[in-house]
A and B are shown apart, each in its own frame.
Chain A
Amino acid sequence: MSGLQHIACDLCDLLIAAPTIEVGQCALCPRCKHKISRLRPNAFVSLFAYAVTGLVLLVLANSFGLMQFKLAGNVAQITLWQSASELYFDAYKILSVLVFLFTIFFPALVLLMIIMFLITIKTGIGKFYMTSLLRLIFTLIPWSMAEVFIVGIIVSLVKLVTIAQMHLGWSFWAYTAFAFCYLKVLSLVDRYQFWHWIEGWQHD
């Protein structure tokens, strides 16, 4: 955290002299024990790798069937996209849009913006939108619910398994792997680290 003289805890506002922390260490607030910052080893490379992998997996998750349902000769199959789009009728358009945003669009956008951010840090392309990009990333993080959606799929599977033959498609496994990558990315996101990279690049 070089360059800063003081930092304050987000949760209790205690003013502290900015500590120098090594890779692999984290800074805890001495008063409320809140984890203020954590420097992960190889954060840059890992972030890039997990974000790209996550996006590829999300594309794959959209290319196969999510779930199949067989009952008395009737077969129904849905894709990931349909789990949100089929709700799009009558008064339920808003729910359909929300499901799409929370499960596909926001997580994808967060990953994409992180990749854009890392590219800007490395190459300097797109400096002008950097600040807005970062603010948008942190605004969208609470609204991406990939892991919650997986539990939703499992619950609906269990609900139907007593009355019909159920089959999970490749899309489900791709989506699960995507959610894992997404959570890995989130664990590597750190405001102080990000601004440290930006300032390092500004001095060049």
Chain B
Amino acid sequence: MTKYSKNSAAAAGLANCLGCGLVSPVEKKQCPRCHAPLNLRKPYSLQLSLALLITAFIIYIPANLVPIMITEKLAKVEYVTILGGIIELWQDGSEPIAVVVFVASVLVPIIKFIILFLLYFSVRFAPGMSITKRMMLFKLTHLIGRWSMVDIFVMAVLVALIQMNHFLSVLPGGGAIAFAAVIILTIFAANSFDPRILWDNLPQSDVDENK
């Protein structure tokens, strides 16, 4: 039997419906108010979330190596990867925008990977970090995940706008698909992780301390 955190709804056999917020006995299987399936915790949340994140991590490699954009300037073809595009922006003198893109497309995915892996490990092994800090990190992953889409949108706008044949044109590259897949997978991974299991695996003294 899994142990649930002290004073939690689950410890009393009650399930909090994530659809409507009604608390009802878990035996009902379905929320009496909104008919969503009732579970004490999201089923297989750790496994599902970990699987999605590992997939994202693998796809992250081609996402960075394969060009996301191909530009053709006077018949000269250039392949632009995510990092290459940022370096180009920096050299063109638009440093602030280069920083924005760097944060959105490079830092945010990496931070997300680190935080989520850290949270998974803290469920199984002794966490070196207080629960308050870990909850903050969890909320952060939800907040920042979507911002990585910036690069995909930039690519879409440039491809639509710049079509002057060999004089100057922009084409999408395969890296963009991989990158979009990484972002979508990490959003799913963050959504399927159930933060309540962090509290369940806490030593009792820590729970009381935070009350």
Interface residues of A (CB under 8 A from B): 4-15, 30-32, 34, 37, 66-67, 69, 71-72, 74, 76, 78, 82-87, 91-92, 94-96, 98-99, 102-103, 131, 134-135, 138, 142-143, 145, 148-149, 151-156, 158-160, 162, 191-192, 195
Closest to B8 in A: A13
Report the number of A-B residue pairs with Cβ-Cβ less than 8 Å: 191
- A60, B104: Cα distance in complex, Å: 29
Given the interface pairs A13-B196, A14-B8, the reply to whether A95 lies near B161 with Cβ below 8 Å is no
Interface centre among A30, A94, A99, A103 (most CB of B within 10 A): A99
* CB <8 Å contact, A195 and B22: yes
CB-defined contacts of B135 to chain A, threshold 8 Å: 11-12, 32, 34
Contact of B20 among A8, A67, A191 (CB under 8 A): A191
Verify if B58 is at the interface (C-beta below 8 Å from A). no
Collect the chain B residues with CB atoms within 8 Å of residue A14's CB: 5, 7-9
Q: Whose C-beta in chain B lies nearest to the C-beta of A11? A: B195
B9 touches A8 (CB 8 A): yes
Of B45-53, B116-124, B167-175, the one with at least 4 CB within 8 A of chain A = B167-175
Interface residues of B in 150-191 (CB under 8 A from A): 150-154, 156-164, 167-168, 172, 174, 176-177, 180, 184, 187, 191
The minimal Cβ–Cβ distance linking A41 to chain B, given in whole angstroms, is: 21
Contacts known (A83-B156, A91-B177, A98-B180); A152 close to B149, Cβ less than 8 A: yes
Are the CB atoms of B100 and A151 closer together than 8 Å? yes
User: Which chain B residue shows the least CB distance to A155?
Assistant: B154
The answer for the CA separation of A152 and B147 in the assembled complex, in Å, is 10
With A13-B199, A15-B12 already in contact, the answer to whether A135 and B36 are too (CB < 8 A) is yes
A152 with B153: CB separation less than 8 A: yes
B33 CB–A CB distance under 8 Å: yes
Query: Residues of B contacting A153 with CB < 8 Å?
Result: 153, 157
| With A4-B23, A14-B7, A76-B162 as contacts: A149 and B16 at CB distance below 8 Å | no
Contact residues, B124-150 vs A (CB, 8 A):
131-132, 135, 138, 142, 146-147, 149-150
**With A78-B160, A82-B160 known to touch, is A92 a contact of B9 (CB < 8 Å)?**
no
Contact B210 A32 (CB under 8 A): yes
Distance, CA A34 to CA B16, complexed state (A): 15
Closest 4 CB pairs of A and B: A152-B153, A86-B160, A8-B16, A8-B9
